[in-house]
């Protein structure tokens, strides 16, 4: 919630009516969720994910590396990071106003002609090749990498972390599906040197990733304002 009424947060709804609806929704979630194990910085992320899907299962399925929230906030506040997504839907779903505030440009390569051609040539998925292209362009180190659709993208990212020592600032790993989705997130959770946020099991999706990033943006802006006082 905005604590400075003289200037609305960029990361909030742009109209009073919109803000009221969002605050009421969050209040309902807080009242109905019951107990949870998340701290004061993690809960706003989980709550916004629940809000995006009206699904209380994310209270419990969502897990955080100990450094995940601070790493995401610091990456945003650096004004020198980027977002790399597995699919266009994430990039489209992110608020351009909020991205501009943090000087962040989102990237995705899933439909690039060269990505499709390479996937056919190597008999891999487009998502795998898209992550490889992001790596070849030097975009993954220090980035917030967002995987909401393709387990193969997350598996390839983990390979690059382990074998080629890339170092994203944060991995939001929430691919949805029945083939390798749960397994890819379990693999990510085994990493202790890269911060991550995951949803265990088959559930996930681009809307969850967008919700998590928007929540991180709000935490970052609140931190920014608090340090300026």
Do 213 and 148 contact (CB within 8 A), yes or no?
Answer: no
CA torsion sign for 142, 215, 73, 11 is positive
Q: Report strand pairing: 83-85 vs 144-147.
A: parallel
Give dist(CA 126, CA 147) in Å, integer: 13
Q: b/e for 128-160, b at 16 or more Cβ within 10 A?
A: bbbbbbbbeeebbebbbbbbbbbbbbbbbbbeb
Active site residue 101: no
Catalytic residue among 51, 107, 135, 223: 51
Q: Mapping DSSP to helix (H, G, I), strand (E, B) and coil, where does residue 27 land?
A: helix
Give dist(CA 104, CA 165) in Å, integer: 23
Q: Which residues belong to the active site?
A: 51
């Amino acid at each position: 919630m905005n604590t400075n009424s003289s200037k609305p947060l960029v990361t909030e709804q742009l109209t009073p009516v919109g803000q009221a609806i969002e605050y009421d929704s969050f209040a309902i979630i807080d009242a109905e969720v019951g107990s949870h194990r998340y701290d004061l910085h993690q809960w706003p992320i989980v709550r916004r994910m629940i809000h995006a899907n009206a699904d209380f299962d994310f209270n419990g399925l969502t897990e955080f590396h100990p450094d995940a929230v601070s790493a995401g906030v610091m990456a945003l506040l650096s004004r020198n990071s980027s977002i790399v997504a597995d699919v266009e839907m994430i990039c489209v779903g992110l608020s351009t106003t909020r991205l501009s505030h943090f000087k962040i440009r989102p990237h995705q390569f899933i439909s690039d002609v060269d990505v499709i051609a390479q996937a056919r040539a190597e008999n891999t998925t487009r998502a795998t090749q898209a992550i490889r292209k992001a790596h070849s362009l030097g975009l993954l180190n220090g980035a917030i990498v967002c995987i909401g659709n393709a387990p193969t993208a997350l598996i390839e990212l983990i390979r690059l972390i382990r074998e080629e020592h890339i170092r994203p600032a944060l991995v939001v790993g929430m691919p949805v599906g029945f083939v390798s989705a749960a397994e890819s997130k379990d693999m990510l959770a085994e990493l202790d040197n890269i911060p991550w946020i995951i949803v265990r099991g088959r559930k996930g999706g681009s809307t969850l990733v967008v919700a998590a990033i928007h929540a991180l943006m709000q935490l970052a802006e609140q931190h920014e304002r608090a340090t300026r006082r």
